[in-house]
Chain A
Amino acid sequence: MARKLLLEHINVPGINTFDVYRSKGGYASVEKALKTMSPDDVVEEVKKSGLRGRGGAGFPTGMKWSFLAKPEGVARYLVCNADESEPGTFKDRYLMTYIPHLLIEGMIVASFALGAKTSYIYVRGEMMPQIRILEKAIAEAKNAGFLGKNILGSGYDLELYVQPGGGAYICGEETALLESLEGKRGNPRIKPPFPAIAGLYGCPTVVNNVESIAAVVPIINEGGDEYAKVGIGRSTGTKLISAGGNIKKPGVYEIDLGLPVEEFLYSDEYCGGIANGKRLKAVVAGGSSVPILPANLFFKTAKNEPRLMSYESLAEGGFVTGTMMGSGGFIAFDEDQCIVRNTWNFTRFYHHESCGQCSPCREGTGWMEKVLHRLENGHGTLSDMDLLVDVSKKIEGNTICPLGDAAAWPVASAIRHFRDEFEWHVTNASEAVVRNYGLAHYADPLDIKETA
């Protein structure tokens, strides 16, 4: 069993309270950082760790921090992006619910490293319980002298605020999040300038995912080099995966990056295999916006190498035969799932969540949704597939923010890999509304495991 870095004490009763968390070695990184290290040392340590952003894009966190502009006399901000709304991803909510002090500890260290005197945790509006949990945890930490003026006598002041969002998916995009935090309509800004130059209230700002900030705690406790030993290649450390779909044991798992996907899906330590003795048809490996993969391509890359749970291995083959790590929302589909219906469902989500600022995404997502709805309900034509691919190409890369790409990729990849299922929906329209296409030749190459 691999060592847990983030969820080590998750099962300790009362770990959500300050006293229990402290007795398990919590806030040691704050003491270490504030008493023995300079802010630049902390940034250096995070750089050494090779930590990559856990929110989806996988941009190295240390690099992001070092890009932060530091003009004299201008405030700097750290904003934690807890607006987790990707379908299939629920790791941040889990972390904030059960071990909120880990996030707060990470926020203190990260704010210290960036020289931020005020930091915000932007929590999605639907997560009201988590907002209360975080506010309680902040009050506890403040009481114990880890927040407020002159933390631990180091002369460093930090105020931490929790800001509930309105529950819009688009506010998870960093510049839309900043707009929303400023009290405006959550429309993404046009970049450049990037938030590292002009972010919140026009000041240099770093926006990080909850998990990235939490991962700073083990990095400081154990040192960046030690952290970098976990994982494989440029994918260092551990990652929280929210496993869902037709698996036996859905939930949040902390894995060492580089774990073989077979082990993750079938071992009892993690997902425990496909539920009800069925077989795997397809996998969305990193949340709804990454390309979907059929089972055979998911286990083996096009070069016939086994696939690993790491940024590089999942992306092996590019968008043609690969996918992305994304935010770690792992969704497995068994043989009874309809890919057309699922693609329609994803598109419906993006149609609903498009902010409507730039035209390709505003009009294109709605168009794709309508075409897919027609296909799913047996009124499609064979040219619809080409139309969908064409529309997704017109959206991809032409929008202000990555939501357009996120809407286009699942559609393009589903048609690329499951075209015969789409065609079956057209040619056997009356049958398609009553039964599913089934497994076809997408079966995973493994034997069916014995089920208990």
Chain B
Amino acid sequence: MKVIIDGIPIEVEPGTSILNAARQIGGDVVPPAMCYYSKLKDSGGKCRTCLVKVSKGSEKDPRPMPKLVASCRTAVMDGMEVQNITSPEVLEARKGIVEMLLINHPLDCPICDQAGECDLQNLAFDHGAVKTRYEFDRRTFEKIDIGDKIQLHMTRCILCYRCVFVADQITDHRIHGILNRGDHSEISTYIHAAVENDFSGNVIDVCPVGALTDKTFRFKNRVWFTKPVDAHRDCDHPGCNGKVALWYKGEEVLRVTARKDQYGEVEEFICNTCRFDTKKTADWVIEGPRKISHKSVISSNHYEFKPLPVVKTNPQLQGANKQQFERDTRL
């Protein structure tokens, strides 16, 4: 099936979502995703940051779709034409969504362990406004411990439901979920029960913000001061193949996570023994330093002011993003 995203054609399998088609193109036309997780079935559609405009439905039915659609949950049709960063409407909507996501977020990045590898931080950096227009108290929750290794700081949560899907699909049973509704909804367990199973640690990796953090790493270090190294061990847990990233500070392994790809999604889920209990270099077979994009804050230690992603070689995209370009460089 042929689909055109921001003027770039690509051939994809039937049933591919627009987001995944854009990821196959790669680069700047990939819509951001806060709740979609390609390894988790039924995830996506909730955060609305990946909204795109379908300017031509398909070859058969060329009518445009009346509303912006969530690209992570909309399958491509043959001949579909999609506008992402070429559509001012999409950029405007996305800015609105980022603002909405941030109004109840505490913005405590300076003390948050997730800072540096936080999807929301990256999103807000690329698409957010400099100042907020929200002048009211933000919702707050008490921190709770779900199990002895994981802490839940609900105040930071953006309710992406990823950790719920992890518990449903990766572990044998789920005991946490969403309580209440609207902006009072919270991730919690029934009467503070502990989340205890061999794969529970994966909720930390899938959390796009710092709502679920690793208690063995809490406040130990900033992410960008640690160096990631690929390693593996012979894990005897069925379902875990022991391929991880070790985060070193000097000689010491500060934390162990699954290996994340460029979209912040883990390549393979790992078990709790690998994550929490094996933190000595001797436990691991080192493969070499993990490749991190040089643009990432983890390798450069700071965010770089850059204009909104624009495909340099595509004149159509440059024209459409002229305004954006000027605004961002002025800033």
Q: Indicate, yes or no, whether A interacts with B.
A: yes
A362 touches B183 (CB 8 A): yes
Chain A residues within 8 Å of B96, by CB: 360, 393-394, 398
Chain B residues within 8 Å of A398, by CB: 48, 51, 67-68, 93, 96-97
Chain B residues within 8 Å of A351, by CB: 182-183
The listed residue (B46, B104, B159, B178) touching A400 by CB distance below 8 A is B46
Task: Classify the secondary structure of B's interface with A.
Answer: loop
Q: Is B323 an interface residue (CB 8 A)?
A: no
A366 touches B45 (CB 8 A): no
* Given A356-B159, A358-B46, 20 further pairs, Cβ under 8 A: A170-B181, A185-B178, A190-B73, A351-B183, A352-B182, A355-B181, A355-B185, A356-B178, A356-B180, A356-B181, A356-B183, A357-B159, A359-B101, A360-B100, A362-B159, A364-B100, A367-B136, A394-B100, A397-B68, A400-B46
Which residues of A, 363-416, contact B by the 8 Å Cβ criterion? 363-367, 370, 387, 393-394, 397-400
Given the complex of chains A and B, what is the CA–CA distance between A8 and B43 in angstroms?
A: 50
Given the complex of chains A and B, what is the CA–CA distance between A365 and B184 in angstroms?
A: 12
Count A-B pairs with CB separation below 8 Å: 88
Q: Is A168 an interface residue (CB 8 A)?
A: yes
Q: Which of B49, B104, B177 has the most CB of A within 10 A?
A: B104
In this complex, what residue of B is CB-closest to A364? Answer: B100
Chain A proximity of B71: nearest CB distance (Å): 12
Chain A proximity of B159: nearest CB distance (Å): 6
Chain A residues within 8 Å of B180, by CB: 356
In this complex, what residue of A is CB-closest to B160? Answer: A359
Chain B residues within 8 Å of A400, by CB: 45-46, 70
Residues of A within 8 A of B (CB): 168, 170, 185, 190, 351-360, 362-367, 370, 387, 393-394, 397-400
Q: Is B317 an interface residue (CB 8 A)?
A: no
User: CB-CB contacts of B126-148 with A at 8 A, as 1s and 0s?
Assistant: 00000001101000000000000
Task: Classify the secondary structure of A's interface with B.
Answer: helix
Q: Is B240 an interface residue (CB 8 A)?
A: no
Q: Is B194 an interface residue (CB 8 A)?
A: no
Chain B proximity of A52: nearest CB distance (Å): 19
Known: A394-B93, A394-B96, A398-B97. A363 touches B48 (CB 8 A): no
Q: Is B158 an interface residue (CB 8 A)?
A: yes
Tally chain B residues at the interface, Cβ within 8 Å.
Answer: 33
- Give me 19 A-to-B residue pairs in the complex whose CB atoms sit less than 8 angstroms apart, sorted by A's number: A190-B70, A352-B182, A354-B181, A355-B181, A356-B159, A356-B180, A356-B181, A356-B185, A357-B159, A357-B161, A358-B47, A359-B46, A362-B183, A363-B103, A365-B183, A394-B99, A397-B68, A398-B51, A400-B46
The listed residue (A353, A393, A399) touching B48 by CB distance below 8 A is A399
Given the complex of chains A and B, what is the CA–CA distance between A367 and B158 in angstroms?
A: 16
B48 touches A354 (CB 8 A): no
Known: A398-B68, A400-B45. A360 touches B97 (CB 8 A): yes
Chain A proximity of B75: nearest CB distance (Å): 8
In this complex, what residue of B is CB-closest to A397? Answer: B67
Given the complex of chains A and B, what is the CA–CA distance between A356 and B183 in angstroms?
A: 6
Chain A proximity of B324: nearest CB distance (Å): 18
A359 touches B158 (CB 8 A): yes
Chain A proximity of B93: nearest CB distance (Å): 6
The listed residue (A185, A356, A370) touching B184 by CB distance below 8 A is A356
Chain A proximity of B40: nearest CB distance (Å): 14
Q: Which of A363, A365, A398, A400 has the most CB of B within 10 A?
A: A363
Known: A190-B45, A394-B96. A355 touches B182 (CB 8 A): yes
Chain A proximity of B325: nearest CB distance (Å): 23
Chain A residues within 8 Å of B70, by CB: 190, 400
B182 touches A356 (CB 8 A): yes
Given the complex of chains A and B, what is the CA–CA distance between A360 and B104 in angstroms?
A: 12
Chain A residues within 8 Å of B134, by CB: 367
Given the complex of chains A and B, what is the CA–CA distance between A357 and B100 in angstroms?
A: 13
Which residues of B, 191-240, contact A by the 8 Å Cβ criterion? none
Chain B residues within 8 Å of A359, by CB: 46-49, 97, 100-101, 158-159
Chain A residues within 8 Å of B46, by CB: 357-359, 400
